[in-house]
Amino acid sequence: MEAKTLLEVKNVTAGYPGHVALKDVNFSVAFREAVAVVGPNGGGKSTLLKVIMGLLEPKEGTVLFCNESLMKNREMRTKIAYLPQQSAINPHFPALIEDIVRLGLYGELGLLKSVTKEHEQRIIEALEKVDMASMIGEPFEHLSGGQKQRVLIARALISNPVLLLLDEPTTGLDLKSQESILQTVKDLSEKEKLTVIAVTHDQVFLKNWAERVIRIEQRLTFDGSSSEYFQRSED
Ligand SMILES: Nc1ncnc2c1ncn2[C@@H]1O[C@H](COP(=O)(O)OP(=O)(O)OP(=O)(O)O)[C@@H](O)[C@H]1O
Ligand SMILES: [Mg+2]
């Protein structure tokens, strides 16, 4: 039986004024797949996530999410959560972890509406999914790099997305934090049934989480299972 398709990237060419970052990229992702995106610096990996998220319009081609174009149906974007490569949150931002997660509700609430009991419950649930609920009440700045990253993932999860896009979630973290992120992402893939696409160069991540690897160097230069990917790179 063929798995149900969640995302289709069709003949996508995209980039910035005077620069083509992606050229004729084609692939599709099924519900619940765990996909790693690899490739050299400047290869177009972050651009690919921006195109999938609907933040950057392709010059040619289309991206279909649940058979719909995100450029046309902006409401669908709430079903996709995105953790950018470098978080915009200052690590010393004076807030408690639950305040950071609450920021994820602003798309839904606007700045003026107050948070209800139901929202508070969703904040707790999002923190539970990344195993950080026991730290409610802690200032964000007291957390380790890995814990901060998990709180930012909780913020991304608050809208109950079906697709999670992570851009180098473990870069710059120590080994212990990298492992905690790996465990969190595995739980999200396996227990929460989320489809996850993560840009990563982390070998442990590739070996222990990714089912499939996509390599982008302007064009799609590899698309296959992670075991095939490792066989090739060992050639
Ligand atoms: N906002 C922008 N304006 C102009 N050019 C950009 C912009 N963002 C990225 N680029 C260029 O597009 C190309 C692809 O960039 P992208 O950030 O997608 O690469 P990447 O694979 O994510 O690299 P890295 O591994 O360094 O994160 C690069 O040549 C980059 O310089
Ligand atoms: Mg990048």
User: 56 lies in which domain range?
Assistant: 5-234
User: Hey, which of 13, 19, 55 would you mutate to test ligand 1's pocket, going by the most ligand atoms within 8 Å of its Cβ?
Assistant: 19
Which residue from 46, 48, 55, 214 has its CB within 8 A of the most atoms of ligand 1, so it is best to mutate?
46
DSSP annotation of 73 reads -
d(CA 19, CA 36): 24
3-state helix, strand, coil in the chain (%, to 5): 40, 30, 35
Confidence label for 18 from pLDDT (cuts 50, 70 and 90): very high
- Provide the residue type at 127 as one letter: L
- The pTM score is 0.92
- pLDDT tens digits for range 144-154: 889 999 999 99
d(CA 108, CA 101): 13
Query: Is the pLDDT at 62 greater than 60, yes or no?
Result: yes
Residue 85, both tokens: 């490569």
Q: What is the CATH number for 221?
A: 3.40.50.300
Q: Is 47 strand, coil or helix? A: helix
Protein residue closest via CA to atom 29 of ligand 1: 42
Sign of the four-CA dihedral 214, 77, 191, 205: positive
For residue 152, report the phi and psi dihedrals to the nearest 5 degrees: -65, -35
| Strands, E assignment, 59-144 | 60-65, 68-69, 80-83
**How many domains in the chain?**
1
- Please state the atom number of ligand 1 nearest to the C-alpha of residue 201: 25
pLDDT digits (tens, 9 = 90+) for 195-230: 999 999 898 889 999 999 999 999 999 999 999 999
